[in-house]
Each structure stands twice: as C-alpha cells, then as structure tokens.
C-alpha cells in the first residue's frame, strides 16, 4: 500500500517574468492511499489545477509552506521525472504536444523509466499490452504511430492520456478535468479505462468541475475546494448535493466568505 499526503500546502503562482507572485493554495490538507479514488470538486479558479501541477512538480509554482509526502517521503524537491519514476502520473487539463516523438516511443520510454535500466520491457510484451489497452479504449491502431498529441482533437488527447495511464500503470494518477470537452461516448470510454485500473495498487485523484464524471467513476471520497483550501470532505453523496445546490449553497452552509 502507498500513501499520498498533502500537508498544509501553501503555493504561490509565479507570473511569466518571475516577478509577481500570488498565493493560490492556502493550506490544502488531503490524504489518500492506493485502492482509493478521491474526487476534488470546486469552482473555477479555486486552485485545483495549481494543486495537481504542484503535486507533479511542474514549474511556475512555489511552495511557501507545507509538504507533499509519497509513502512518507517528501517529494517537493524532486524534479517531475523523479516523481513519475516513483509512481505519480498527471493527466492534464490541457495536454501538451511533443514534436517528433511518436506515441509508441513516448510510452515505451515512460514505461522503461520506471523499470531497472538493464531490464527494459520486452518488445512483444509492450506490443501486446499496447494492443490490449488500445482495444479497451476503442482507439484506432494508427494513433500509436502519430506524434504525441499533434493534431489530436481535444477528446483524442484525453483518450490518449488515459492510454498513457493504462500503459504506465502509476501508483497514483491525478486526472485534471479529463471530462472537459468530452461527449458522452468519449466520457464512457475514458471512464471505462480509469475503472479498469481500480485495485489495491492504484489510487486516483480525480479533479472535476461537474458531477457527471462521478456517475461513471464513482469515488470513495469527495473533497470540495474553495478559495485555495479543502473546505469539505464527504462521500459520493457530497457530489450529488453540490450538483443540486451549487457551490453557493455550500458557501452559505459553511459560512464562507470566498
Ligand atoms: P482551477 O483549476 O480550480 O480552475 P487554477 O489552479 O487553474 O484553478 O487557477 C487558480 C488561480 O490561479 C486563478 O485565479 C488563476 O487565474 C491563477 N493562476 C493559475 N496559474 C497562473 C499563472 N501561471 N499565472 C498567473 N495566475 C495564475
Ligand atoms: Mg479552471
Ligand atoms: Mg483547472
């Protein structure tokens, strides 16, 4: 069993010139373990993407207080690739394109980065796994040899990130608004992929604006973020309540001034 713990996390975003900073996360606390799926919901601009980028170690964010622990070890000084090697995975709201690298090359490199240097994944094993996962996701074979995300539609990019998830098999996957821009069929396929990962060696933090996704990927725990903090934690019924009453209802209930 693995644990991911976010303790009193305060994060500033740094603007493009590295001049001004603005505090976005104001003391986030959250703890999860493999075998669990947690959802984070919250209004736009509340810091959900800032949290996911900070967990993964993307640049442009500065931790001013608090810590992020993977199996009790602080990861905040580790570069992105080291965090990935240790089993973290981030599917982003806006997936990047990488020129000149095909999907297959990327996947093989990402898988091998998590294996001992002298034990790369055997070619046939890789191909069989790729075939199996692409079939599960209803992806055409041609996608494998295309350059990473280049010319992909929004939906195809999301689907491709789920393919990465299934191939890399991380311990913890942070999925930041993987539902945005997906039609209902694509949403079902993406959910099927994530659900196929469920098990005692996999945990996921699913960030979403809407409850809809959580009808397909039913979380064990739901957190609501507002004003840069987790303001409420509950079961799946919390998501339904939010859908019915909106964030304003919760703001009133908690007496929040944010
Ligand atoms: P969410 O994902 O909940 O919609 P974000 O984490 O994307 O929220 O953004 C939180 C706040 O931080 C917003 O007010 C946004 O404008 C601001 N922000 C995020 N990234 C940057 C950045 N690179 N530079 C300046 N402001 C940013
Ligand atoms: Mg947003
Ligand atoms: Mg966001």
pLDDT confidence of 20, banded at 50, 70, 90? Answer: confident
**How many beta carbons lie within 10 A of that of residue 115, not counting itself?**
11
Alpha carbon distance 191, 202 (integer Å): 15
**Ligand 1 geometric centre to CA of 182 (Å):** 22
- pLDDT category of residue 93 using cuts at 50, 70 and 90: low
- For residue 18, pLDDT over 70 is answered with no
228 CB within 6 A, ligand 1:
no
Question: 109 with 118: CB under 8 angstroms?
Answer: no
Nearest alpha carbon, ligand 1 atom 18: 13
Give the pLDDT confidence score for residue 145 in this predicted structure. Answer: 83
Higher pLDDT, 93 or 208: 208
Residue ranges of domains in the chain, CATH in brackets: 3-254 (3.40.50.300)
Residues 76 and 68 sit within 8 Å (Cβ to Cβ): yes
Separation in Å, CA 14 to CA 23, 62, 129, 204: 9, 7, 40, 27
Euclidean distance between CA atoms 137 and 121, whole angstroms: 22
The total number of residues written for the chain in this structure? 258
Q: What is the pLDDT of residue 38?
A: 98
218-250 confidence digits (pLDDT tens):
999 999 999 999 999 999 999 999 888 888 888
Decide: 46 in ligand 1 pocket, CB within 6 A. Answer: yes
**Given this model, what pLDDT does residue 28 score?**
98
Residues facing 30 on adjacent strands: 6
Q: Is 48 in the pocket of ligand 1 (CB under 6 A)?
A: yes
Q: Whose CA is nearest to atom 11 of ligand 1?
A: 45
Q: Are the C-beta atoms of residues 41 and 211 closer than 8 Å to each other?
A: yes
pLDDT in tens, 35-76: 999 999 999 999 999 999 999 999 999 999 999 999 999 999
Cβ-based neighbour number of residue 64 at 10 Å: 11
Q: What is the pTM of this model?
A: 0.93
The 10s digit of each residue's pLDDT in 171-226 is 999 999 988 888 888 899 999 999 999 999 999 999 998 888 999 999 999 999 99
Best residue for ligand 1 mutational test, from 11, 22, 24, 51 (most atoms within 8 Å of Cβ) = 24
The pair of structure tokens assigned to 12 is 């500033």
Distance CA 232, CA 205 (A): 16
């Amino acid at each position: 069993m693995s644990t991911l713990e976010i303790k009193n996390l305060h994060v500033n975003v740094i603007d493009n010139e590295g001049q001004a900073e603005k505090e976005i996360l104001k003391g986030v606390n959250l703890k999860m373990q493999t075998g669990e799926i947690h959802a984070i919901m919250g209004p736009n601009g509340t810091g959900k993407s800032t949290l996911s980028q900070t967990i993964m170690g993307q640049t442009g964010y500065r931790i001013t207080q608090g810590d992020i622990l993977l199996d009790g070890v602080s990861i905040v000084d580790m570069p992105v690739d080291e965090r990935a090697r240790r089993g973290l995975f981030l599917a982003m709201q806006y997936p990047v394109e990488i020129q000149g690298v095909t999907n297959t090359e990327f996947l093989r490199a990402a898988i091998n980065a998590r294996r001992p240097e002298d034990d790369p994944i055997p070619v046939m094993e890789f191909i069989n796994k790729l075939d199996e996962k692409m079939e599960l996701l209803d992806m055409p074979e041609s996608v494998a040899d295309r350059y990473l995300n280049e010319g992909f539609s929004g939906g195809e990019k999301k689907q491709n990130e789920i393919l990465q998830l299934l191939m890399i098999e991380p311990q913890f996957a942070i999925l930041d608004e993987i539902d945005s821009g997906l039609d209902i069929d694509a949403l079902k396929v993406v959910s099927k992929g994530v659900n196929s990962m469920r098990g005692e060696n996999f945990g996921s933090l699913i960030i979403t604006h809407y409850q809809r996704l959580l009808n397909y990927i039913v979380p064990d725990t739901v957190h609501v973020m507002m004003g840069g903090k987790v303001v409420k934690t509950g079961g799946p019924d919390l998501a339904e309540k939010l859908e019915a009453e909106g964030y304003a209802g919760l703001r009133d209930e908690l007496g929040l001034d944010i």
